[in-house]
């Protein structure tokens, strides 16, 4: 879990999760039913959409969970 700060951080975290899954980008793109270049375009675009995060997470066998907590009530 991490505290969302900006879209760049989200993209870095997503890339780490894909690496940790042990799958190649090609395998992830195949599971997403898109071409490797399309996958690259998705993860490199300036504003990563929630639907894209969900597609990538699902392709590597994960669900996306969002939790809203009061400011200052952050577990470390």
The per-residue pLDDT for range 29-71, each reduced to its tens digit, is 999 999 999 999 999 988 889 999 999 999 999 999 988 888 8
Residue range(s) defining the domain that contains residue 23: 7-59
At 29, list the tokens. 């793109």
Give the pLDDT confidence of 6-20 residue by residue, as tens digits. Answer: 889 999 999 999 999
Answer whether residue 19 is part of any domain.
Answer: yes
Answer whether residue 74 is part of any domain.
Answer: no
Answer whether residue 71 is part of any domain.
Answer: no
Answer whether residue 66 is part of any domain.
Answer: no
At 2, list the tokens. 């991490």
Answer whether residue 1 is part of any domain.
Answer: no
| Of 19, 3, 10, 16, nearest in space to 48 by CA | 10
Answer whether residue 38 is part of any domain.
Answer: yes
**pTM summary value:** 0.83
């Amino acid at each position: 879990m991490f505290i969302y700060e900006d879209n760049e951080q989200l993209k870095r975290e997503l890339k780490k999760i894909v690496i940790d899954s042990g799958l190649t980008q090609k395998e992830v793109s195949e599971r997403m039913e898109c071409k490797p270049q399309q996958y690259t375009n998705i993860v490199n675009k300036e504003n990563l959409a929630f639907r894209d995060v969900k597609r990538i997470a699902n392709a590597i066998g994960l669900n996306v969970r969002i939790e809203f907590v009061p400011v200052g009530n952050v577990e470390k």
